[in-house]
Structure 1
Amino acid sequence: MQKIKVLLRYINRFGIAFTVSFLVQRFILKKSIIKLNLDSLKRPIYLRNNYSDFQVFTQIFLNDEYLVDNLSSPKVIIDCGANIGLASLFFISRYPDSSIIALEPAAENYKMLSKNLGKYHNVSILNKALWSSKTFISIKDNGWGDAGFIVEECQQNITGCIETITLNDLVEQYELNEIDLLKMDIEGSEEQIFSGDYSSWLGQTNNMFVEIHENLKPGITDKILRITSTNYSVNTNGEYHIFSRISS
């Protein structure tokens, strides 16, 4: 019954042609990469034929996890933990005049990220991990595959280590005066981000979507809420805490 309800919601939101195309590619042709077209985007969306990609697509495009009514048109968006680029694609569809910087450390995710975002002139993609300092990290599977993982610091000369970047580095590199929207889904690494030198970039950030991984980092929710309590109002939507700067 639940699957039928979801199917009907897909038809209602995206139309019969879109839904049939999805079902044929996924279950009959069993394509490894599925190509979908949304009216709100100029280019196709590519998904891997697995549960996690379709779960994320459903959360973002069907359940409107990033839809916030009172968010004015952001000019600069930073997507940290961009995965295969679905959040950035939603932002493109919603805010086509924005500039987006998308970071994704996992190699397989980054390949799909490049396929989904590489031809958009207003998007910069980086195969780096967000961290509190310049270093190198390794990716450790936490049982969710490409949909979720945890990271640990490692030595540069170890195979598979990935370069990190800080938010302050991004602000400097891209000469940003403000970050209108910061999306952060970095599998527990938010503990690092809110433990380092956060005062500068946080002072330039107007809105944040943060998936807080309390299960991985006990106590991190209270810490982030405490740090942001003075300058931000907080709401939740799906798995995200939404922080909006309070007007002075």
Structure 2
Amino acid sequence: MNFVRKIANFIRDYRIIGIDAFKLEFYPILGKRKVTVKLNGYRYPISLRCNMADYITYSQVFLKKDYEFDILNTLNPSVIIDCGANIGLTSVYYRNKYPGVHLISIEPEDNNYQMLIENMKYYENVLCLKNGVWNKKCNLNIVDKSVLDNSFVVCEFPGSLGIQAVTIGDIVKDYNLDKIDILKIDIEGSEKRIFSGGYETWLPLVKVLIIELHDRFVPGCAKAVFDALVSYKYKMYIKGESVCLYFEK
């Protein structure tokens, strides 16, 4: 039954990546740990580890197209921040959709970050930061490393060890940003913290917010986000697990 499913997946993926779909579906059976595939319409290949997490992310970005909102076609962005960049597939999507954009991609976990670097090495004007996104300067730690590589939850970690947190306000200040055309946030529950305080300095700079809410991991995420937005006017669109908010200035 598993082989039949892989054949079905191969036929589906073939429409997106051509013959490289064979690698994606069958290399893990041969003991391969990583594959490189070329997406139709993309100039450079992407690298994926042969694990369920990377396949889920690949499917979300390139098959289900969870980040393809029609409203984005009206934009000509110059700054995009990708919070929770994982292995960089969403960053690859944005960098190809908007070739001239300045992109800041942020990922806290070591192995994911190395894959992010690998997938972004072909592109200019991309800054990759190994940090967790939080609402203050502190150190963070991954709560449970046994989960899938696209599901890491972080918490505050006392002392000088751990992952250095960065705030969106820090990024705005450090890189002299006067706007954020697209802010993508997929940070497995940490959105509750960043929308619980400190957002007042950077949220007015955002034109489009694309966010995944994780109340299943951290109760209260959605409430924190929408409480912070109560004084804003926006149009809301939903696709898959992504919520897109287009702010009306």
TM over 0.5, shorter chain: yes
1:205 maps to a residue whose letter is V
1:128 to partner: Cα distance = 0.7
1:191 to partner: Cα distance = 0.8
1:7 to partner: Cα distance = 3.1
1:22 to partner: Cα distance = 2.9
Q: CA-to-partner distance for each residue in 1:78-118, whole Å, 9 max, x for gaps? A: 01111111110111121111111001011111111111113
1:149 maps to a residue whose letter is F
Residue 44 (1) aligns with residue 70 (2)? no
1:2 to partner: Cα distance = 6.0
RMSD between aligned alpha carbons? 1.8
Give me the whole-angstrom Cα distance separating, in 2, the residues matched to 1:14 and 1:36. Answer: 7
What is the SS of the residue equivalent to 1:66?
Answer: coil
Asked if 2 retains the 8 angstrom alpha-carbon contact of 1:103 and 1:127, the reply is yes
1:157 to partner: Cα distance = 3.0
Give me the whole-angstrom Cα distance separating, in 2, the residues matched to 1:141 and 1:208. Answer: 28
Across the two proteins, how many residue pairs are aligned to each other? 243
1:176 maps to a residue whose letter is L
1:143 to partner: Cα distance = 4.6
Residue 69 (1) aligns with residue 70 (2)? yes
Q: How does 1:201-240 map to 2 (within 5 A)?
A: 201-229=202-230, 230-240=232-242
Identity level (%) = 34
Of 148, 152, 156, the match for 1:149: 152
Asked if 2 retains the 8 angstrom alpha-carbon contact of 1:139 and 1:149, the reply is yes
Task: State the match for 1:179 in structure 2.
Answer: 180
1:3 to partner: Cα distance = 5.2
What is the SS of the residue equivalent to 2:127?
Answer: strand
Asked if 2 retains the 8 angstrom alpha-carbon contact of 1:142 and 1:148, the reply is no
Question: Which segment drifts farther, 56-65 or 146-155?
Answer: 146-155
Give me the whole-angstrom Cα distance separating, in 1, the residues matched to 2:145 and 2:216. Answer: 12
**Shift in CA distance, 50/79, structure 1 to aligned 2, threshold 3 Å:** same
Structure 1: gaps spanning 5 or more residues: none
Q: How does 1:80-119 map to 2 (within 5 A)?
A: 80-119=83-122
Question: Which segment drifts farther, 38-47 or 192-201?
Answer: 38-47
TM-score (norm 2): 0.90
User: Structure 1: which 4+ aligned runs deviate by more than 6 Å?
Assistant: none
